[in-house]
A and B are shown apart, each in its own frame.
Chain A
Amino acid sequence: MKKYWRRFKNSFFWFSFRRDPVAIASFSILVILAILSFSAPWIAPHDVYESSSIDIMNSELPPAWMEEGSSDYMLGTDIQGRDMLSAMLYGMRLSILIGLGAVCLQAVLGVLIGLIAGYVGGKVDSFLMRVADVQLSFSTLMVAIIISAIFQLAFGLAKYEDLAVPLLIVIIGLAEWPQYGRTVRASVLGEKKKEYVEAARVIGLPRWWIMFRHILPNTLSPVLVISTVQVANAIMSEAALSFLGLGMPVTKPSLGSLINSGFEYIFSGSWWITLFPGVLLVTLVVVINLLGDWVRDVLNPKLYKR
């Protein structure tokens, strides 16, 4: 354990992290946000899932520092009388959870398909990559919107809202796997020709063993590079779907559905229901994107221009 720690401390990764104030700042903000959101059940002043703690009389209270604001509700309340701060903490937890889940799913799908396409080649390769091309040309958002619309019709609204978290993970995962598929395939094509693969083939190792134990580890650094940005993309997609009413229901709001529920009341001047979740969402995504830019520069300077 100590050995690994020393190795990490002497690595270029750690060195360039320490020298980059933007990376340090965004990493610390991200960690703080993640800790805050996952400890929401303990630190949030109110439990937003408990309907008995919500009083409709408290609806649309402005933030505490404004007139009419109550010190009980620091960032005000939404239209149902929920505490905004608590709702945002719980919502961010859902957003991060769905983002991470979707990225895991799309990484598994994409890596698997990319490996097979790159290593097997031929007809399989051109078929799988055509599918990826077509899906990408439709834009991931469009694909996600259409799949979620179909799911909502197929399951019915009530059941869809019950299963919203796993369904959203599946939807976003299905919509965004081509990013991984293409990246992995490209690096598999590069690795396939190298001598160590040839050697492995000569000593008669089975195909899947070469694919997973020899080639896969060498394709992981581009996967790590795109993963950071993909988390941000998945969180954005989730927010967009929830905003359209195709994602998390209002009873279990994510940041996107909070923005959606506040939007109608912006005309009556209740800006805080929309603005606070919006700022939180943007902060989260900006921080992840900045971190992603930094990871890309450190791990793979060749990938920089694309």
Chain B
Amino acid sequence: MFAFVIRRIIQSLFVILVIGFIGFAIKHQIGDPVRDLVGISVSKAERDALREELGLNDPFMSQYVRFMKNAVRGDLGMSFFYKKPTLKVIVKKAPATLELVFVSSLIIIFLSIPAGVYAAIRPRSWLTRFIMGASIVGVSIPVFLTAILLIYVFSVELGWLPSYGRGATVSLWGWETGLLTIDGWKHLILPSIALSSIMLPLFIRLIRSEMMEVLQSEYVKYAWAKGLAPRRVYFVHAFKNTLLPVITVGGVQLGILIAYTILTETVFQWQGMGFMFLEAVERSDTTLLVAYMMVVGVVFVAVNTMVDIIYGLVNPTVRIAGRK
């Protein structure tokens, strides 16, 4: 087990190095740190001097090593637009995105488990057909369209909920949270429903198919033969054993939600990391773009490694198969 964990961690460190390499290559090719520092109104001689001083004329590899060394220390360069260290900008925007992802995953968990279990237990009922049909349509509706329709119905026509921004936030030890005010919750409802709409059908189908497979197994048949109450068979014997694949696939999928926050945040002008990323693209803020890429890369790698390790802990065959 120990060897397995170590190997996974080394692998993920390698992936982070590669992401860093790609990020640095982009910055090297497209970005212009001199412009980021002094703007465009400085003479060419001064710029060249600054270039030399910053070490921008050094060989590519030695610049890369310097970039990674700084990155490990948490220095990902200065943002051209904000005139602040990029990591600070990102950390300031992160709570908004994380709260959005958190509330959406709560919605996904509390809706998909009952719906998926029901669809597995009663595969022929009309409600199951409705759920499965709706989930095919749900998968096919782009998240930004859901978001726009929600805005049109609930903000423009009915006027019940606000359509953009985070509303009132409270600072909690430096964490700007909207979860503690009623206004913040009102602003959260539409974006989190929109964001969860993309993953909900996937989770329902996943839970249903896993549950149906478990219901076919010998020990469930045995439990029925013993004459146990249906509730006990369904929830203690069957459902518990569908949780493992659901958790592992689910962990990765919740990481993928971060990609979809770019879309939801754009529609709702939610001041999170995704919105910031698109602004950075529009402003050609290469440093900030690369920093975002690195941060999101590290988050993805961390989530995946953790899921793999948990899976290895619970299911020993993975560890052995991975050894070859």
Contacts and interface: CB of A to CB of B under 8 A. Distances in A.
Interface of A: 130, 134, 137-139, 141-142, 145-146, 149-150, 152-154, 232, 236, 239-240, 243-246, 256, 259, 263, 266-267, 269, 271, 274-275, 278, 281-282, 285-286, 289-290, 293, 305
B136 A289 contact: yes
Contact of A281 (B26, B142, B252, B267): B142
Contact of A240 (B29, B142, B156, B297): B142
Given A142-B259, A267-B156, A282-B145, A153 B281 contact: yes
A259 B263 contact: no
B213 interface: yes
B29 A154 contact: yes
Interface in B265-286: 266-267, 277-278, 281-282, 284, 286
Contacts of A289: 136, 139-140
A153 B289 contact: yes
B151 interface: yes
A146 B136 CA distance: 28
Given A145-B262, A246-B281, A263-B148, 5 more contacts: A141-B260, A240-B263, A244-B262, A278-B145, A305-B213
A174 to B, nearest CB: 13
A286 B259 contact: no
A287 B296 CA distance: 34
Contact of B263 (A149, A150, A243, A293): A243
Contacts of B266: 243-244
B304 A137 contact: yes
A246 B11 CA distance: 32
B15 interface: yes
Contacts of B286: 153
A74 to B, nearest CB: 21
B148 to A, nearest CB: 6
B267 A263 contact: yes
18 contacts: A138-B256, A139-B256, A150-B26, A153-B30, A240-B142, A243-B142, A243-B263, A244-B278, A259-B144, A266-B148, A266-B156, A267-B156, A274-B145, A278-B149, A282-B140, A282-B145, A286-B140, A290-B136
Among B145, B149, B296, find the residue whose CB has the most chain A CB atoms closer than 10 A.
Answer: B145
A232 B151 CA distance: 25
Contacts of B137: 282, 286
Instruction: Sort A-B residue pairs by CB-CB distance and give the 8 closest, nearest first.
Output: A142-B259, A139-B256, A285-B140, A286-B140, A149-B281, A139-B259, A141-B259, A278-B145
Contacts of A267: 156, 163
Contacts of A232: 140
A232 B293 CA distance: 27
B297 A282 contact: no
Judged by DSSP, the binding face of B is helix
Given A138-B297, A244-B263, A305-B209, A150 B142 contact: no
B258 interface: yes
A118 to B, nearest CB: 16
B235 interface: no
B141 interface: yes
A50 to B, nearest CB: 29
Contacts of B281: 149, 152-153, 246
Contacts of A256: 142
Contacts of A278: 145, 148-149
A113 to B, nearest CB: 17
B118 interface: no
A256 B143 CA distance: 12
Contacts of A274: 145, 148, 152
B77 interface: no
A246 B145 CA distance: 17
Among B148, B252, B262, B297, find the residue whose CB has the most chain A CB atoms closer than 10 A.
Answer: B148
B4 interface: no
Nearest to A288: B140
Nearest to A306: B209
A142 B262 CA distance: 9
A240 B144 contact: yes
A239 B142 contact: yes
B156 A259 contact: no
Contacts of A282: 137, 140-142, 145
A259 B30 contact: no
B300 interface: yes
